[in-house]
Amino acid sequence: MSAIADSVWTASDTTPDAVEQALRDMLVDRHTAEPESVPARVLNLVAVVDKEWSGEIANRLRQVGRNQPSRTIVCQVEAGRQGIDAQVSVAVRGEAELTLARELVILDVGPQHLEHLETIVDPLVVTDLPTLVWSPHGHDDAVAALLKIAQIVLLDGVDEFDAADGLARAAALVDRAIVVDLAWLRSVPWRERIAALFDPPSERVALDRLSGVTIRHEQGSAVVALLLVGWLASRLGWTASPLTQDALGQWSGVIRGRGLQEVRITLERVPLRVRGLAGLTLETADGTSISLDRDRGGLAAVRTDESGAREHRWTIMGASRGEGGILGEGIRQAMLRDPVYRPSLTAAQELAG
């Protein structure tokens, strides 16, 4: 997609009403210049970021591809700022037979604006569209204020230093809004592969005999591993109970599976350059094991029989989506509903104690 034209408007020490009027005028001017262009109208995204890290966030948003929001409002928080500065741009890009106009509003605000940020943002969102809030640098007071006008919260449990805190933050929001958790989305390929492994009817009986689950994760991504085990527990009827952490921050413990079956859970920290999971191993009571690990171009799979004498190796194709792909999927998921996330989150919280 290439931009046909960008229109830009800037103002210092301005007001939300002035910004809203500028948006209206720019869209009228753009339609006059390009009658075939129409405003994209699917989703509002409100991002609250620390100004010193806004460049990183802008780079991530540029990588989401076709999942770009219709109107993006970036609130850049700057210590010591009193007034509001604004920059508005309208970009028209060709998509299939349409040329769609998308709007970007950048507001420089001070910390004192966050408690009542909804009064600043409300005039700027497109009415009758879902509004998604994303605050990757914390600012929970801004999120609380924006929930008066927004329906969806995008977060990343990996952003929290402690995995239990990441789960708790999501749980605190799930009763107030639709939560889209990037930590949860990082486990999607692994959940799909596990489901595929046990999809044949002949393999499903092994689910009742699972006796060990080992998850290998990037050092700061324990919350992704906990959510994956929480998903298994919620889907398979396991009774989740608190795991323990050792001095290295690795989690382990035994929980009750179906019937009297015990399942040993181990979460291992391993070197990995990206957030998320590096691999997993599932073991059954008869000694059979299946391992999946990141590999070039997909996942390396190894199945070992109960005697340990025979191995079957194959590759499951599928490249990593990267951080841009994860964020793009998060924006896309804002328009969907995932009924499995909440019970998985509840089980993960029980595992984290």
Residue 169 within any structural domain of the chain: no
Residue 329 within any structural domain of the chain: no
> Within this chain, do residues 192 and 80 fall inside the same structural domain, yes or no?
no
Among residues 150, 180, 203, the one where a domain terminates is 150
d(CA 227, CA 158): 11
- Among residues 237, 227, 230, the alpha carbon closest in space to that of 163 is found at 227
Whole-model pTM above 0.75?
A: yes
d(CA 220, CA 238): 26
> pLDDT at position 74, please?
97
> Within this chain, do residues 146 and 280 fall inside the same structural domain, yes or no?
no
Number of separate domains in the chain: 2
Q: Are strands 71-77 and 152-155 parallel, antiparallel or unpaired?
A: unpaired
> pLDDT at position 258, please?
82
> Within this chain, do residues 125 and 28 fall inside the same structural domain, yes or no?
yes
Residue 50 within any structural domain of the chain: yes
> pLDDT at position 95, please?
58
Residue 166 within any structural domain of the chain: no
State the 10-residue block means of pLDDT for the chain, 353 residues long. 68 97 91 82 96 92 85 97 96 71 95 98 96 95 97 95 95 95 95 94 90 96 98 96 92 91 96 94 94 90 83 82 82 91 98 95
> pLDDT at position 1, please?
40
> Within this chain, do residues 140 and 198 fall inside the same structural domain, yes or no?
no
Residue 306 within any structural domain of the chain: yes
- Domain residue limits at 243: 188-321+341-352
- Residue 297, token pair as written in the block: 């171009």
Residue 195 within any structural domain of the chain: yes
Residue 138 within any structural domain of the chain: yes
> Within this chain, do residues 194 and 139 fall inside the same structural domain, yes or no?
no
> pLDDT at position 2, please?
45
> Within this chain, do residues 139 and 270 fall inside the same structural domain, yes or no?
no
State which amino acid sits at residue 327.
L
